[in-house]
Each structure stands twice: as structure tokens, then as C-alpha cells.
Structure 1
């Protein structure tokens, strides 16, 4: 009997323990479901004052404003190369000399031919003087009826023949003089001089090398004016309609990414560079479909310190518009993709720390920041991002507000 009571008390105690544990679990679940959700942590920033530019981006290559390929107009062996790469030369300065023996021989031959023709002309001139005297004598004698008419006519014929011979020799002298001048010019071609002042940037033909100028003028050296450089910027067909000559531009180079080199868009070429290799409209059409089309914009920039060099890569920004001391916010704070002058929405943190939606009028943007024209003051805190839960909850509200 005692044992049965003990078992009954033990069973009753276990039921009580399980009941207490169940009640505690229900209270815990109720606490978890009924308590307020944690406030999401907002990512914020302050609207600030700053300068902003709307730009067209392009990639370009630096070239000298003036680059001359100094070639040889005479054939022969390069006997002397008077410059080295990097030398600064003046206009008219000797660059190279080509073996001139052939030209000198031709010059002596032409000089001798000219002397010979002039001597012949002198002899014919003397004969002309004698023919003129004979003619005058025969004319006087004919007037005095002291000579037959046939002798007078023969004197006239002799005079005319002498005059013709002298005129022919004068023409031959002029021809020989022209040939001599041509040989002198060809001899001058063996001395290659700098056509412009500049820097020798390349030596194409080495000393001792033989050049042949019969078909095309071979290049000896290349001279460039490096005081002013030109950027050949590739502007995409989507952006080329937005730019025009006269717009300010700046660029940076790989060796000095923080330095701005400023200039001006001088020209936008009317057709892409690829048009030079297109032979027909059909080919042009195929070329335009095979890849992006770029138009070349030319930007001149001073190179007073010599930092810029040919073939450097330039990251170009062509400035379409610029504003100083504007109210700026990060582009990620603006909802949607409004155009300049349009209305957009941002979330502003009020005094209670709650994010409120506000309409603002936006201006230009540079890809990272956007100008605020109205609806927001510098110093106000705006929301850049929030937790996933808040963004998910905010989407229906924003969608409804935009309708």
C-alpha cells in the first residue's frame, strides 16, 4: 500500500515538472514573437558642398603636334649620321650624308658639257658678226650696182643661217644649264638637313646602310616638336554627338594618375579612322556591325616640362558642363535614374533618426556623385543603404509613392 502511494506521488510530481516546463516554453515563444523587431542599421552620409563635372570619357594616345619623317631623295650609302636619338636639332642642321661620288661625277660631266656648248656658241657668234659685215658690204655694193643680185641673196642666206645657229646654241646652253642645276640639286640631296627644329625621336636608317630613293624616299630619322603634344582620343559613337570643338578637356597618364593635364578639344574627325580601309559601302556596313565605332578627337596640350612622350596612353575626360560649390550626394542615395533637371527621391534621416522619403531636383552627375538643385541642404544626412529586410519592406512603399 505504501509502495503504491509512493509511485502515485512520483507520477504526480513528473506531471507537474512537465507542465511547468511547457508553460515556460510557451512564455519564451510568446516573447520571441511579440517583441519589436530590431531596428535595421542604416548606412548614411551627409550632403556636402563640392565641385562636379559632367564628362565624356575616352581613351587616347599621345602624339607630337608636329612629326616629320626626314627621308633621303638620293640613292647611295649613308656615309655619316650626324645625330643621335634625343638630340635637339635646329632647322637646316646636318642630319646625315650619303655617298655623293656619283652625283659629283655627273656634276663635272654637266659642267664640261656646258663649257663646250658655250665655246661653240662663241665661235658661232663670231661667224654671225662676219656674216653681218658681209651682208652690209653686199647691200652697199648692190645699191651702187657693183655686185650681182645673187651674191647679195647669198649674203642674206648666210646671215640668217648664222643667226639660227646662235639661237639654237642659246637654247642648248639653257638646256645644259638646267641639267647642271638638276645635278647640283641631286648633289644637295646627299646632305640631309633638318626641315624643322625639334627632337630626334627615331633613327630608321643606320650609318653604312644603303638606301634606294628610286621608288620611294626612305626615312632616315624622325623629328618631332615635343613642346606641344596632341591626344588622339577615341570617342564612342554614343558620345560623339554630345561633344563639340572648343570644349575643355583634361587627361591623366599611367605614370601620373593624380595629375591633370588640361587642354581643349580642337577637332572631332568627321569619320572614323577605319573608313580608310573600307573599299565599298557594303564593306563599311560590315565593319560597323563587327565592333564598336570610335571617332577621333584631337586635344592639344602644352608639354613644357617634357613629361609627356609619344605613344603614352591617356585617360581623357571631355567636360560637357561643370558646377562649383554645388550640393552633392552619392549617386547610390538617389532612387531611380532621373535626368538632369528632373525629380528624384532620396531618404533623409530626421531628428528622431527615422528615414523619411523626400523628393529632390537633381542636376548633373559624374558617375559617383549627383548634384542636388533643390529639396536638400548641405549637411543633412541621407541614407545610402540599409539591411535587406528594410529594403524589402521599403519597395512596396516606394512603388506606391511613385504612382
Structure 2
């Protein structure tokens, strides 16, 4: 019995010596496993970090609208006698859309034309009167030189010249005024024909024959009869959140997805960002206009859309699938050099307790080393919907655990794993 106890003590001493030596070599590598029956290795799939293009994108809801849209109204009060278009018609610039009653306008034009003609005749008469007055003055001047005309008669002749000149000048000014009134009357007649200002499509037609339309003023909006939109130039007015707006710049490439067809993307470019945001509930958004290049006929104003803006990208990033990076508390990780380095880079904030610092979450990727999963703190760069850039923590060629999701969620440092291929996983 004494010999058995002596042998047991010798074996215990040897185990203690080996353990102490290993602790000196790698303090964070000792994990005591008190389990009597070890759990079988977890089956995982791995992937080596690879280089490729990663683009960071933000999304925002928006509404499709035409770049050029003109609301058609009347510049005068009038009754509609003809509507030459219907909803959805394609029109060209200068096409007559609506005709107003022109009876009064034509009458005013005829009246102004008659007055203009009368004043032109009056000018001709005034010119003849001035010519006669000049002749009479000259004759009285000759007669006065011979003593056959008195000074009074000569003065009267000169007065008649001045009166004739004044009458002619007045007639000419009245003719200018009449010409302006005639131009106004002619323009009024033209306004009875409401024409398309641009090429486009008729939308929102709201006028009918027999209705009376009014012109808009500063305090009273006029009648809007229809809208002409240009379907060849479309854009999306998107509402970008204030947290994302610092990343958005004019000229950035974008993709537009319609709510009616979320699989088809239309290419676009950021054109304009408003300087002032609008508050909606608890959030603030900034209107961002995205021009759609080569809009198809199916793209119509008023459609709901989602804009995806590429705010940054790198063509040669070392990346892994986004779901391969998980979060673990600092206190649940071993005291390895990599974890200690992370703790040095992320020092405690003023006033933060040591216990709170140990509860911080660390972004880690699990790397398979000798059949065991090791948690590596990682530094991340750009992220897209599929991959994330690894700046530090994992190198190319290492085996990073990427699946299954349940295993990644429960995986701990030092846990035994069995790497399976896609073919084995399908079996």
C-alpha cells in the first residue's frame, strides 16, 4: 500500500512539473478539461480568406420622378372649347393641348387693329398739315420781305407750323401706344391656344370642355389642367438617413430597385444632395436625387423604389464571408497574445470599471489549428452584403470557420472541430 501511494505521488509530481513548464512557455494555452467523457468534435466548414472586390453600400427608400415636369395652366380667364389630348398621349413641343373661347380676344384684336389703322391715317394727315404750314410760313416770309405781309401774319404762320409739328408728334406717340395694345391683343388671342412647352407624355389630365379656367396670381393658384412629363429623363428622390449622408457624394454609382420588381436593377448616379434635412418621427433624412441612366418604359413617375448607393470600395481586399465574424465577450476568451493585443488597442474609457471592460464584446473569427478552433480578434474594413474585409487578425491561407451558423453561434476557443467539405455536408 505504501508503495502504491509513493508511485501515485511520483506521477502527480511529474504532471505538475510538465504543466508548470507549459505555462511558462504559453500562459494562455492551458485549459483544464474536467469532463470525464469528452464531447465529439463539431463538424464545421472552413474557407481561406481570399482577395477580391468589396464595396460598401447604403440603401434608402425613394420615389421615381421625372427630371423635367411642367404643370400646364392658363394665362387668362376663359372657357374651354376643345381638349385635344387624353391621358398618356405623347406630345411634341408647341402642340395645341387645349383651346379656349377666343371670341372676346379676337374682338379686342380687331378693335386695336382698327385704331392702329386710324392713327396711321391721322399721321399721314398730320404730315400733310405740317407740310402746308411750312409752305405758308415760307410764303409769308417772302411777302414780308416785299412789304406785302404784316409781322402778325408771319407770326401766325409760324404758330401754325408749331401746332402742326405738335399734332404730328402726338399722332406718332398714339400710334406707338396703339401698336403696343395691338401686340397685347394678339398675344391674348395666342393664349387661347395652350401649347405643350416640352416633348413628353400627358399626365394628370383634369380639364373638360365647357369648364372655365383661371390664371394664377401671387395669392391665388390658377387652374392646373394637366402635367407634361419627360419619360426619357427620370430620377429617384431618395431619403437618406443622417447617419449615412456624410458618406454620400455627387457622382457616386447607384442601383435602383423598384418595389414592383426587386430583382431588376437600373443603373444611376447621385446628382444632388439637399443641404437641409427633414425630420420624420424620430429620424432625420436628407433628400438625395439619383439620376437613372437609360430608364425603361416600365419606369413611371410615382413608383416606389429603393436606392443602393456605392459609397466606397476596394478592388484587392482580403475578405471572408460576413457571417464568419462573430462576437464574444472578452472574459470568455483565453489570455492569448492576440487577445492581449486587442485589449491594449481598446483601452478602458475613463470611469469604466475593469469588470465592465471584461464584458466588452470582441469581433472574432475562428481559425482551425490542429483540429481545434481558436478565436482570433480581427480588425474589419469595408463590408458589403456578402463579405467583410479583414485588416488584421487572420492571414491568407488559414482555415476560417464559415458554417454552419448554429456551430458558429455556439463555438468556443479550444473546442474540437472536424472539417467537412461541401460534398460531405450534402451527404
TM-score > 0.5 by shorter chain = yes
Decide whether the 8 Å contact of 1:91 with 1:196 is kept in 2: yes
Q: In structure 2, how many angstroms separate the alpha carbons of the residues matched to 1:356 and 1:388?
A: 12
* Aligned residue number for residue 245 of structure 2: 240
1:97 paired to 2:88: no
Checking the alignment, whether the CA contact within 8 Å between 1:52 and 1:326 is kept in structure 2 is: yes
Contact 1:247 1:319 in 2 (8 A): yes
Q: Residue 128 of structure 2 corresponds to which residue in structure 1? A: 126
TM-score (ref. length: structure 2) = 0.73
2:399: which partner in 1? Answer: 380
Aligned in 2, Cα 1:386/1:39: closer, same or farther, shift over 3 Å? Answer: farther
Q: TM-score, normalised by structure 1?
A: 0.77
> In the alignment, does 2:80 pair up with 1:62?
no
Counterpart selection for 2:255 from 250, 258, 261: 250
Relative distance call for 1:289 and 1:311 in structure 2 (3 A) is closer
Q: Deviations over 1:252-286 (max 9, x none)?
A: 111221122111111111113x4xxxxxxxxxxxx
Q: Secondary structure at the match of 2:85?
A: coil
Query: Which among 258, 269, 274 is matched to residue 269 of structure 1?
Result: 274
1:293 match: secondary structure:
strand
Contact 1:348–1:383 under 8 Å retained in 2: no
Contact preservation (8 Å) 1:60, 1:234:
yes
Tell me how far apart the structure 1 counterparts of residues 272 and 119 of structure 2 sit (CA, whole Å): 58
In 1, the alpha carbon distance for the partners of 2:302 and 2:319 equals: 37
Q: CA deviation at 1:335?
A: 3.5
Counterpart of 1:111 (choices 91, 110, 113) is: 113
Question: CA separation in 1, counterparts of 2:381 and 2:35?
Answer: 46
Q: Structure 1 residues 147 and 388 mapped into 2: Cα distance closer, same or farther (>3 Å)?
A: closer
Equivalent position of 1:197 in the other structure: 199
* Pair 1:318 & 2:343 matched: no
Report matched runs for 1:353-392 at 5 Å: 354-366=372-384, 369-373=387-391, 375-377=394-396, 380-384=399-403, 385=405
CA distance in 2 between partners of 1:390 and 1:300 (Å): 46
Deviation at 1:297, TM superposition (A): 1.0
Unpaired runs of at least 5, structure 2 = 1-33, 329-341, 347-361, 415-427
- In structure 1, which of residues 287, 290, 307 is the aligned counterpart of residue 298 of structure 2? 307
Does the aligned pair in 2 maintain the 1:75–1:214 contact within 8 Å? no
Q: Where does 1:1-400 land on structure 2 (aligned, <5 Å)?
A: 35-39=36-40, 41-42=42-43, 44-47=45-48, 49=50, 51-213=53-215, 215=217, 216-272=221-277, 274=278, 291-324=282-315, 326-336=317-327, 344-350=363-369, 352=371, 354-366=372-384, 369-373=387-391, 375-377=394-396, 380-384=399-403, 385=405
Q: What is the aligned length?
A: 345
3-state DSSP of counterpart to 2:176: helix
CA offsets 1:171-195 (integer angstroms, 9 cap, x no match): 1111011101101001000011111
